[in-house]
């Protein structure tokens, strides 16, 4: 389907009252090819972390791995200096929901869970993903949280088919599964469009109601990145650095993130 046909079909949906994406949210084949390459490098960055992460290292050492691998392979760490963020990657440990800043004094210990969130610019295009790592002897309640969160992501992606699903379907799938297991879903932060810049429209909420919100259309590139809390969904931003987002009750949080391309079938995972 060419862009003229897509535009005509969107007008039909809009005439029926459906919220539809702008045409600039639908990537061209050339843009998709570039985003796919950026996503591949971003995946390799996280692979490099996975090979080296261990109990006893600092979160700043993770940052060094990310920076070095990225620049050695022709990329740019998108997080570095983004709106003043001082490091190349986000490292969020235990009760940190997101945007944790790597620290030479923060040593990873047995029992920790850590989210490593990397975003990579390559030849002008952007890939984005995050993974959870469990270090040493992790308590079962944290293992369960990490596993359920990963399944939330999978279920969100199952509900991301072009011309069939809406953004509300993604949120509803994630929210229902998290609540079924007694967890809460962070609402203030979510997924987003990505590919030509780090954050684009639309916002992808991880809570929602089926059949509501923007129609998903082939060619859209978005992240799905559920942040699931062991306790309440309430959060606060650390006043010391104005970046680190923590659970208000001090209980653990987990997050997994993929960049996906919406298709007429199952989405294509571009970075994970």
Per-residue pLDDT tens over the stretch 173-222: 999 999 999 999 999 999 999 999 999 999 999 999 999 999 999 999 99
Domain count, the chain: 1
Burial class (CB in 10 A: 0-12, 13-18, 19+), 173: buried
Distances in Å between the Cα of 151 and the Cα atoms of 43, 103, 197, 200 are 19, 30, 27, 25
Work out the number of other CB atoms within 10 angstroms of the CB of residue 175: 24
**Domain CATH code at residue 79:** 3.90.230.10
Q: What is the pTM of this model?
A: 0.97
User: What are 200's two structure tokens?
Assistant: 């684009």
CA torsion through residues 248, 169, 257, 147, sign: positive
Q: What percent of the chain has pLDDT over 70?
A: 100
123, 68 Cβ separation under 8 angstroms: no
Q: What is the pLDDT of residues 219-242, one digit of tens each?
A: 999 999 999 999 999 999 999 999
User: What are 84's two structure tokens?
Assistant: 């003043």
Which residue range forms the structural domain that includes residue 159? 3-271
User: CA-CA distance, 257 to 104, in Å (whole number)?
Assistant: 25
Closest CA to 249 of 94, 83, 110: 94
Question: Taking residues 238-257, what's their average pLDDT?
Answer: 98
Distances in Å between the Cα of 141 and the Cα atoms of 97, 98, 149, 234, 240 are 16, 19, 12, 19, 29
214, 178 Cβ separation under 8 angstroms: no
Angle at which helix 167-180 crosses helix 140-158, to 10 degrees, equals 150
- pLDDT in the model for residue 248: 98
- pLDDT in the model for residue 65: 98
Q: What is the pLDDT of residues 41-84, one digit of tens each?
A: 999 999 999 999 999 999 999 999 999 999 999 999 999 999 99
- pLDDT in the model for residue 52: 98
- pLDDT in the model for residue 189: 98
Report which DSSP code applies to 8.
H
User: What are 97's two structure tokens?
Assistant: 């929901």
- pLDDT in the model for residue 238: 97
- pLDDT in the model for residue 116: 99
Q: CA geometry: angle at 130 spanning 28 and 143, to 5°?
A: 140
222, 203 Cβ separation under 8 angstroms: no
Mean pLDDT of the chain: 98
Report which DSSP code applies to 242.
S
């Amino acid at each position: 389907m060419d862009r003229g046909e897509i535009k005509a079909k969107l007008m039909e949906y809009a005439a029926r009252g459906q919220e539809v994406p702008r045409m600039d949210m639908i990537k061209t084949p050339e843009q998709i090819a570039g985003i796919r390459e950026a996503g591949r490098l971003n995946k390799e960055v996280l692979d490099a972390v996975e090979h080296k992460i261990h109990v006893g290292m600092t979160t700043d050492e993770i940052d060094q791995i990310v920076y070095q691998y990225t620049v050695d392979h022709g990329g740019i760490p998108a997080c570095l200096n983004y709106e003043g963020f001082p490091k190349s990657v986000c490292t969020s440990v235990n009760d940190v929901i997101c945007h944790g800043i790597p620290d030479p004094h923060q040593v990873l210990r047995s029992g920790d869970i850590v989210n490593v969130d990397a975003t990579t610019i390559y030849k002008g295009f952007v890939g984005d993903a995050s993974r959870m790592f469990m270090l040493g002897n992790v308590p079962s309640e944290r293992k369960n949280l990490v596993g359920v969160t990963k399944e939330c992501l999978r279920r969100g992606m199952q509900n991301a088919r072009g011309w069939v699903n809406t953004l509300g379907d993604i949120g509803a799938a994630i929210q229902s599964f998290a609540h079924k297991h007694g967890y809460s879903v962070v609402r203030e932060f979510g997924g987003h469009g990505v590919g030509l810049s780090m954050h684009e429209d639309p916002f992808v909420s991880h809570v929602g109601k089926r059949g509501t919100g923007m129609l998903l259309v082939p060619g859209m590139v978005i992240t799905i990145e559920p942040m699931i809390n062991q306790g309440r969904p309430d959060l606060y931003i650390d006043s010391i650095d104005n970046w680190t987002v923590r659970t208000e009750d001090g209980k653990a949080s987990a997050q997994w993130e993929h960049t996906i391309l919406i298709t007429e079938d199952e989405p294509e995972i571009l970075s994970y």
